[in-house]
Amino acid sequence: MHKVEVNVGVNVTEANRREAEENQEHLDEHHIKSVDILGAVGSGKTMLIEKLTPLLQKRGVKVGAIVGDCYGDDDYQRINALHIPTQNLNTGTECHLDAHMVHHALHKLPLDDINFLFIENVGNMVCPTDFPVGSHKRVVIVSVTEGDDVVNKHPAIFRECQIGIINKVDLAEAVGASVERMERDMRRHNSNIRILKTNLRKGVGIEALADLLLEN
């Protein structure tokens, strides 16, 4: 019997990387900064966009968004209610956005009317890690309600992100979570990560996050 080795994974990820670079070049041509928001379902990704958008608009930033979900348009409807250019992407059985999907969404957006683009990835702490979509920054958000071991269980995603957000810090005591442990684990897996602690529902930490996102 012949042994056949098929290196499909390497080819797929490399093709995605090349298309992600092309997406970023396309955004650069239109002078658009972009951020890929990663995190589990319920961590606060959509609310992050809801809270940041009016704040950025007050600073003169023209915001747009691409919203990813396996199915449906619940998050898309929330973001579309902000009256910004928005595209919905359903991935079906795929647990992450990829650069090719984002490429098509970019060509449906009025890029000349946008100078900051949110890309909300599918709610998953594993799959999106190896599939950059062409954003200039990657942000990962976790909430204390996921347990204070959530960071240590998903080290790879934190290594790929420039900003880490610990959300719902007001609930830490109630759920028995240590924010200090979560922050310590983030730094252990990525010594360069910028960490913010937020209570998005009350707007705590939003100003500081806006400052980070607009940094060069």
Q: Single out the residue of 1, 8, 45, 21 nearest to residue 141, CA to CA.
A: 45
Q: What structural domains does the chain harbor?
A: 8-214 (3.40.50.300)
Structure confidence by residue, pLDDT tens digits, 116-155: 999 999 999 999 999 999 999 999 999 999 999 999 999 9
Chain-centroid distance of CA 51 in Å reads 15
Return the exposure string of 80-117: e unless at least 16 CB atoms fall within 10 Å of the residue's CB, then b. beeebbbbbbebeeebbbbbebbbebbeebebeebbbb
The answer to whether 35 and 135 are in contact (CB under 8 A) is yes
Contact 127, 96 (CB under 8 A): yes
pTM of the predicted model as reported, rounded to 2 decimal places: 0.92
pLDDT digits (tens, 9 = 90+) for 47-73: 999 999 999 999 999 999 999 999 999
**Rg of the chain (C-alpha set):** 17
Is the pLDDT at 6 greater than 70? The verdict is no
The Cβ of residue 174 has, within 10 Å, a number of other Cβ atoms equal to: 10
* Four-residue CA torsion sign, 40, 97, 191, 152: positive
- Tens-place pLDDT, residues 146-200: 999 999 999 999 999 999 999 999 999 999 999 999 999 999 999 999 999 999 9
- As given in the structure block, the two tokens for residue 178 are 């240590």
Amino acid at 216: N
Given a cut of 90, whether residue 216 has pLDDT beyond it is no
